[in-house]
Structure 1
Amino acid sequence: MSGQAGSAAGAPGAEELLEVTLRVNGVSRTAGVPARRLLSDFLRHDLGLTGTHVGCEHGVCGACTVLLDGEPARACLVFAVSAQPHEVTTVEGLGSDPGALGPVQRAFLECHALQCGFCTPGFLTTVTAYLEDTPDPTEAEAREAISGNLCRCTGYQNIVSAVLRAAELRRGATPEPTP
């Protein structure tokens, strides 16, 4: 059968594995996985990209948010096999060089929008996509943009400030962030 990697270790009754190839952070990556493997598990366990966090496993918290063709998607609700025709960007794909942070990462750092960090990858990917479509949001629009991501450590004010600061940075504005 085309696209199939065979059964797991040839064991009787073992789940059949499919060869899944995804373009993740600009690189084609392949692994043999069960058809029901979630994108979040594929990224974390099969590819070792642990920046995508799994919180609620129901698509509610936003911790597993990645970008599919530039649009936010809950990786815990997408099968890896169904993501094959799409470009996947994880938080690792947003940049990992501390000397060259992107505007959203820099804004989160400057505005102290990081607490324990568990929710941060989902916020970073969500905000990155949001600012592509809305380069100059109001505070109310920024709040609405992040409303699908849950953070248990903060009252969101610093995250909202980070969204607004990231918008400034993307536009080339350089005023210092407000605490």
Structure 2
Amino acid sequence: MLILTCPAQLQRLEGALRRSLPLALPVYGAVMNMNRGNPGDFEAVVDTWPDFRAVLARRRGEAPADDCYMNMHAAFYRDLGAYQALLESPGAVGGASGQAPPPVPESCPCPAEEAPAPAAPCPDPAVLDMLRRFDLSWEYGPCTGITRLQRWERAQALGLSPPAPVRDALLEHQDDPAVTYSLWHEYPL
């Protein structure tokens, strides 16, 4: 039983779980949150690494007996025997010994290039609301099958005077798909 602490390992685990959706959804959600700041203070425990057959997402540290949310776990397994062995390991789910499993060392053997660059901060909800209103404003023409910036530029070329703050927001967050694409970007013209 190993606790994954290395960011590269957690990214690799997230990718492996993504390929096993929808069966791995509860654990995938927990690992995804671990890779994005870990607001729930979870940790991932695997039976072996890197070829895991069972993974358990659980709260870090000791859980108070009266806190029903702290005692929540999520599991995914490819092999029932490996999952049962993981659950029976000392400290996996607050076992009788109370000992926590040894964490994987911080100097993990994962190459640093496997860890993706940190995500850019999310745009302000007011910006996203402004962009949604731009999508819903049919006076600037259809928005299916093109990016918001392409639609803005087309409207400008046609003399429709699209709002300048929309263009500013699109250029500021040009690498964020939530900003780049309209509500209907997946639908062809």
Higher Rg: 2
Higher strand share: 1
The TM-score with structure 1 as length reference comes to 0.22
The TM-score with structure 2 as length reference comes to 0.21
